[in-house]
Chain A
């Protein structure tokens, strides 16, 4: 048995609005990413590879595609006799409903978390992409005796709409000076990765008290407030690997493109800690005579007769003769006709582009074609 005894909680809906063009029919967790994955695959693989096999997935709405993707969770090795993945939809207990913040959401999972067999809980979003061994963070949490450990990295930049948790440190990153919910990070500060380690008993207490006090947001109402009032001991676990934050359409687009760089790919995809996803039984991709690819990620099951550069192709994409694609993200089962020119577009699943169509977006404003549409 695992001597750490850790369970996991994953949020699937919290940031749906940030990429609303692509989440009208799915949770942000099931948003396709990295040419063959869904965002949720990364956090679930990280949990599974860290031997966290009891994972609660909190969902709110639009979760049919998520259920469909995860199936029996066999691929993530989360189809287990005594543990495994548990769906926690809203209204799963009588006194909960649709929530706005993570603290509220956690209340719907209170019965699930209230399980004496576990000592720690890893609570995670599903929109921050990395390859992390949670066991190291749990070890640090245990040693430090903190109430909460925030997994964070140095990431100096302006953030988009979603304001992450920023931990301002004293000189040499020794101690947390203050905590803010900020658009900007700076020197001597860590940016939260939406991943927290709680001692399980404390988490249960926090959820119950927050419910009574009407508190909603985990970062603002609990972490920032608790720390500033001196009520809780917060520690940082610094993650020094590659971190891709998908906060809005632009960062989603750019992060996909980042994966074309070998050093970024190697930081996310590791042989000893693979990222799992749903198996789709596709043939290897066929590159016909006349095709030409330049700097692309291509999943299995594609048939390519045209030219594609600086792009990501998901599974089962068909690119016909004399078509040219540049700087684009083409999702699963999309058919692209002849003499098509696409630059800087995001095509959602099952899109059909008819012969001769020309679509020109820009890097900052990629054109988005919704699921199932024909152009």
Chain B
């Protein structure tokens, strides 16, 4: 079989367990977690690829891949069902000599060298499946080519006090990187790595092979590959990104990112026709909004029926909010039912959850001290019995 040569293909790391999302990733991979009413997290990097003209994407899966695989299907919703390229789900597989799980981010790519080789790309874009952002990778690719870099790393300016939570790129005036520090105690720069890399394929390939020989290596891009390239005086550049970007690896950050799409002029605007985010759509009728409802600064997706009050919240596809129910500052994931007079505040309610009459999930922030407060979470398909109270911070 012949393969078309590609300038750049994308490899999307979607194997992370996402254990800090607790019950939300109990039975599903983090990239398949619902977001923003009708999306899943992985829709963002996938749509960015398509909108940037990248038509070949390998998705590296490992943890709980069933739902993710089903969701991705043949890539048709993203226009990635092309016969020349398109979407390829790449789980770890058994080989004749040895079989193993993906040991680290670099090892996951290493195990798929042959897949990449088929397309003979000049550059490879490495992405992860747990960030919410809208970005044109083609601008970054032009920058990478213009600098003739071996590797270009997308960076975001973060406040100095937060810099020690990130991988920090220390750069010279021309944005070339001289040092990479993973979560430095005393950060020298505020350029945080976004986990988005473009490598010259021929360079990356050599380093992946060498890294695999080193038994002490963690086989990780940040810990091993980037430092090794720097050590050998390769040209590495930081590509400054000014848009919205959020790692949604924790309950708090996932909730915050959902809240960030609200407002008349949100920091990440999903209503901008120029930045279309694609998702798999399900055949559901239009939302029905009753006169008994009151909806303020909220998203409501198709297939929902709203009879209660909704404020600063996201109601995903196929939900029912019954009469007298109140939803405030919350994310209701697909197909949940919130029955009469139930209250949901500062909470994430998982897919298919039923909150029976008078149930109370989460509470108003005002009533709690900062350390006692947190987002309440109800996992997929759970039933919250009549008049039951789920306190803030509680995760069930």
Q: Are A and B co-members of a single complex?
A: yes
Residues on A with C-beta less than 8 A from B298 are 286-287
Interface pair A312/B286, CB less than 8 Å apart? yes
Interface pair B270/A279, CB less than 8 Å apart? no
Q: CA–CA, A36 to B283, complex, Å? A: 11
Interface pair A281/B295, CB less than 8 Å apart? no
Stretch touching chain A among B59-67, B225-233, B272-280, B357-365: B272-280
Chain B binding site: helix, strand, loop or mixed by DSSP? loop
Q: Does A293 contact B (CB under 8 A)?
A: yes
What is the 8 Å Cβ interface bit string for chain A, positions 28-52, against chain B (1 contact, 0 not)?
0000001110000000010000000
Known: A269-B285, A284-B38. A293 touches B295 (CB 8 A): yes
Residues on A with C-beta less than 8 A from B82 are none
Q: CA–CA, A298 to B315, complex, Å? A: 13
Between B281, B285, B298, B299, the greatest number of chain A beta carbons within 10 A of the residue's beta carbon is seen for: B285
What is the 8 Å Cβ interface bit string for chain A, positions 296-315, against chain B (1 contact, 0 not)?
11111001000001001100
Q: CA–CA, A151 to B292, complex, Å? A: 39
Between A268, A276, A284, A285, the greatest number of chain B beta carbons within 10 A of the residue's beta carbon is seen for: A284
Select one of B287, B296, B314 contacting A297, CB under 8 A.
B287
Select one of B36, B38, B285, B297 contacting A35, CB under 8 A.
B285
Select one of A276, A284, A287 contacting B283, CB under 8 A.
A276
What is the 8 Å Cβ interface bit string for chain B, positions 282-294, against chain A (1 contact, 0 not)?
1111111111011
Nearest A-chain residue to B38, judged by Cβ: A284
What is the 8 Å Cβ interface bit string for chain A, positions 251-285, against chain B (1 contact, 0 not)?
00000000010100100110000111101010111
Q: Does B386 contact A (CB under 8 A)?
A: no
Nearest A-chain residue to B270, judged by Cβ: A283
Residues on A with C-beta less than 8 A from B270 are 283
Known: A274-B283, A279-B281. A284 touches B264 (CB 8 A): no
Nearest A-chain residue to B271, judged by Cβ: A283
Interface pair B287/A277, CB less than 8 Å apart? no
Interface pair B286/A299, CB less than 8 Å apart? yes
Nearest B-chain residue to A316, judged by Cβ: B273
Q: Does B302 contact A (CB under 8 A)?
A: yes
Residues on B with C-beta less than 8 A from A300 are 38, 286, 301-302
Q: CA–CA, A265 to B310, complex, Å? A: 23
Expressed in whole angstroms, the minimum distance between the Cβ of B192 and any Cβ of chain A is 28
Expressed in whole angstroms, the minimum distance between the Cβ of A35 and any Cβ of chain B is 4
Expressed in whole angstroms, the minimum distance between the Cβ of B293 and any Cβ of chain A is 7
Q: Does A292 contact B (CB under 8 A)?
A: yes
Q: Does A291 contact B (CB under 8 A)?
A: yes
Interface pair B285/A283, CB less than 8 Å apart? no
Interface pair A298/B286, CB less than 8 Å apart? yes
Interface pair B288/A265, CB less than 8 Å apart? yes
Q: CA–CA, A293 to B33, complex, Å? A: 30
Q: CA–CA, A65 to B141, complex, Å? A: 38
Known: A287-B295, A295-B291. A281 touches B278 (CB 8 A): yes
Interface pair B290/A284, CB less than 8 Å apart? no
Interface pair A283/B287, CB less than 8 Å apart? no
Expressed in whole angstroms, the minimum distance between the Cβ of A282 and any Cβ of chain B is 8
Nearest A-chain residue to B273, judged by Cβ: A316
> 19 pairs across A/B with beta carbons < 8 Å?
A35-B285, A36-B285, A45-B283, A274-B282, A281-B278, A283-B37, A283-B38, A283-B271, A284-B301, A284-B317, A286-B271, A286-B299, A293-B293, A296-B289, A298-B289, A299-B287, A300-B301, A303-B271, A313-B286
Can you name 8 extra interface pairs (CB under 8 A) apart from A262-B288, A284-B36, A295-B289? Answer: A36-B286, A279-B77, A281-B276, A281-B277, A293-B291, A297-B286, A298-B287, A300-B286
